[in-house]
Amino acid sequence: MTYTVNLSFPYGYSSENCAEISTFYYTDGDLAFPTLAKTVNLLGFARVINPVLLVGIGYPEQTILEWFERRNLDLLPVEFEAPTVYENLTGITPETGKALDFINFIKKQVIPLVESQNCEPKERILAGYSNGGTFANYVLFKHTNVFDKYIIGAQNDEHGLSVVYAYEEEYAERNKDLNKAVHFSVGTEDDENFYYTNQMLLTLSKRNYPNLKMSHHIISGGTHIDSLTEFYQESIITMAPYQKTTN
């Protein structure tokens, strides 16, 4: 299985200040990477956010249908019987349920490579949108300590959110705390995804974990597609806000 891994270094990056940097990993890393990289660097230069090393994990596939197929494979934690967007477009049932393999690839290959060639960052952030939001939820509850902060955007229930709720419930049965920061973001016109994203937000709120930090952002009038740009920008600002260093 082949992936593309794109990196964008923050303005003023050097080996002396790399331990102050947040590393921002996001799925669908080939999607609008140049634009997102410029936005992140501009926000850092303007001291709206702390320095962020952007790591986009994506695919070399060239067609939109190939992209759909790879996303269904990597981002969904179990095999689903419900038709996917890819199946509706092509009539072909895609393979799904390889999220464990994907997070192991990130843990064992991507993160060690990034950190061995740079340094261990102040924090790791994982962001995912749509199926990527489902994947971020899966990692939060099943591989909790890989990342420090989680950004969950427009979590896709096309394939059945019940599996993610099951992971959340399993986590709650085993743990009394969730010492993470979690940010939810979704558009008001994103149909069922608006409901299900907010349901997970409410579910976690009721757990009363003492060290869980939660935030959310509602994109007014946003649909599933046109919310994407605002999702990335506001999420980075929320999760990596500028903090003046003191000597």
**Cα–Cα distance for residue pair 207/177, rounded to 1 Å:** 9
With a cut of 70, say whether residue 115 has pLDDT above it.
Answer: yes
Q: Residue 158: what pLDDT?
A: 60
Residues 48/113/103/22 CA torsion (nearest 10 deg): -20
Q: Which residues contact 197 (CB under 8 A, 6 or more apart)?
A: 133, 152, 153, 154, 155, 184, 185, 186, 190
Mean pLDDT comparison of 11-15, 160-164, 197-201, 205-209, highest-scoring range? 205-209
Q: Residue 16: what pLDDT?
A: 74
Q: Residue 69: what pLDDT?
A: 80
Of 53, 64, 81, 77, the closest CA to residue 28 belongs to 64
Q: Could you give the count of Cα atoms lying within 13 Å of 188 in the half-sphere of its Cβ?
A: 4
87-96, 188-197, 236-245: lowest mean pLDDT where? 87-96
Q: Which residues contact 101 (CB under 8 A, 6 or more apart)?
A: 1, 74
**Cα–Cα distance for residue pair 161/5, rounded to 1 Å:** 28
Q: Residue 137: what pLDDT?
A: 94
Structure tokens at 91: 């009539």
Q: Residue 86: what pLDDT?
A: 57
Global pTM value: 0.92
pLDDT tens digits, 50-87: 999 999 999 987 787 788 788 888 998 887 655 555 56
**Average per-residue pLDDT for the chain:** 88
Neighbours of 54 (CB within 10 A): 24
With a cut of 70, say whether residue 11 has pLDDT above it.
Answer: yes
Of 245, 231, 228, 246, the closest CA to residue 31 belongs to 228
Tell me the average pLDDT across 181-207.
92
Residues 201/202/207/208 CA torsion (nearest 10 deg): 90
Q: Residue 24: what pLDDT?
A: 95
Confidence band (pLDDT; 50, 70, 90) for 214?
A: very high
| Beta bridge mates, 181 | 149, 213
In terms of pLDDT, which residue wins out, 120 or 38?
38
Question: What CATH architecture applies to the domain 4-239?
Answer: 3-Layer(aba) Sandwich (3.40)
